[in-house]
Amino acid sequence: SDAETIAVIPGDGIGHEVVPAALRVLEAVDGVDFEFVHVEAGDAVAERTGEPLPEETLAAVTSADATLFGATGETSADVILPLRDAVDSFVNVRPARTYPGVDAVQPETDLVILRENTEGVYAGIENRLSADVSTLTRLVTRSASRRLGEFACDYVADADADGFTVAHKNNVMRVTDGLFVDTIEEVAADRGVEVDDQYMDAMATHLAMNPAEYDVIVCPNLAGDVLSDLAAGLVGGLGLLPSANVGAERGIFEPVHGCAPDIAGEGVANPAATVLSTAMLLDFLDYDGAAAAVRTAVESTLADGPRTPDLGGSATTDELATAIVDRL
């Protein structure tokens, strides 16, 4: 058939609650008809088989058009880093915004972080040279920086944004972040996109005080990890944040939150971040109308629908999914 294939990895803990909820929404939305391949990854399968990322899962992800990923526990790094690699997802797209009626430290936040997703300190080249000395090789290439820069320019054009801000530390990491910033600025200049840049430490201060100043932020891998979690704190926590690991051919879509062992099994986890991740998946596969419908339904539900306990209500995961489906 012509249906796109979606690999589905609930993972651990609340992954088993929020992923099925998101699938209910995905199955209800008009105009899409996916084939789902359900596979395992994370602590539970590692416990059982010794392997947090079974071959079968890797194969499913690399042959699917896109993957919906829930959350994993202790084994997260062993699962998500190889998966990002396997689909060559060169950018991690992390929007952070607030919603009317949802408490936030900085209610005016509405930004997106485009995080380099293949290299930097995540290149994983480490050595213990002696009892005293260890090293890690941080890798920055012109090609990865260029690809991210091109993506950022496309993103800005699509989102009708004014331009983007590059976060970096090129006063200390002169050669590597120098290459990163220079390359991205070259791409932006070629494309006629406005770009400014800021030290990542200064950006942390400004984000905390005035997040509304930012729109699109482009940054190296670890900077993106930290700045996006900071942005998450400003909008009220990880609970509502989706993300997309985007490659040229495939993508992996995951809520930013973890597997929340403290509430797992109670059926009260908020599925909104995972549902919003499916909206990013729909965008990626060019179902723009369906993506917009899902987002609108989530926004409307957050505004005046039932609420899960994280947002002060007592609704269940399923009730929230039903409310979202009803508003599609």
Residue 179 as a binder of a second copy (CB under 8 A): the answer is: yes
CA–chain centroid gap for 18, Å, is 15
Candidates 35-43, 74-82, 148-156, 271-279; binding stretch for ligand IPM (CB under 6 A): 74-82
Provide, rounded to whole angstroms, the least separation between the CB of residue 247 and ligand IPM: 15
> What residues between 143 and 202 interact with ligand IPM by CB under 6 A?
171-172, 201
What is the enclosing helix (H) or strand (E) of 284?
A: helix 272-284
Place of tokens 């997703």: 117
28 binds, among a second copy, ligand IPM, none (CB under 5 to 8 A by kind): none
Rounded CA-CA distance 241/115 in Å is 15
Q: Which of 3, 77, 105, 303 binds ligand IPM (CB under 6 A)?
A: 77
Window 14-53: contact mask with a second copy (x via CB under 8 A): ----------------------------------------
Q: How far is CA 283 from the centre of its chain?
A: 14
Cβ contact 227:189 at 8 Å: no
Binding site partner of 22, from ligand IPM, a second copy, none, Cβ cut-off 5-8 A by kind: none
3, 77, 157, 159: residue in contact with a second copy (rule CB under 8 A): 77
Instruction: Please choose which of a second copy, ligand IPM, none residue 29 contacts, taking the beta carbon within 5 to 8 angstroms, the exact cut-off set by kind.
Output: none
How many angstroms separate the Cα of 224 from the Cα of each of 3, 117, 137, 200, 315?
34, 9, 18, 9, 33
Stretch that binds a second copy, among 7-15, 56-64, 157-165, 198-206 (CB under 8 A): 198-206
272 binds a second copy (CB under 8 A): no
Query: Does residue 126 bind ligand IPM (CB under 6 A)?
Result: no
Residue 63 CB-density burial (10 A; 0-12 exposed, 13-18 middle, 19+ buried): exposed
Place of tokens 């499916």: 278
Kindly list the strands in the beta sheet with 194-199, ordered across the sheet, starting from the edge strand earlier in the chain. 35-38, 5-11, 66-71, 251-255, 242-246, 91-97, 110-116, 216-219, 163-168, 194-199
Task: Check binding of 88 to a second copy (CB under 8 A).
Answer: no
**Is residue 286 left, alpha or beta, with left meaning phi > 0 and alpha meaning psi from -120 to 50?**
left
- Residues 3, 34: Cα–Cα separation, whole Å: 5
Look up residue 283 and give its DSSP letter: H
Q: Which of 33, 100, 175, 286 binds a second copy (CB under 8 A)?
A: 175
Q: Determine contact, residues 215/111, Cβ cutoff 8 Å.
A: yes
Any contact of residue 262 with a second copy (CB under 8 A)? no
Q: Does 138 bind a second copy (CB under 8 A)?
A: yes
Binds 80: which of a second copy, ligand IPM, none (CB < 5-8 Å by kind)? ligand IPM
Least distance (Å) between residue 66 CB and a second copy:
24
Contact residues for ligand IPM, defined by CB under 6 A: 76-77, 80-81, 171-172, 201, 225
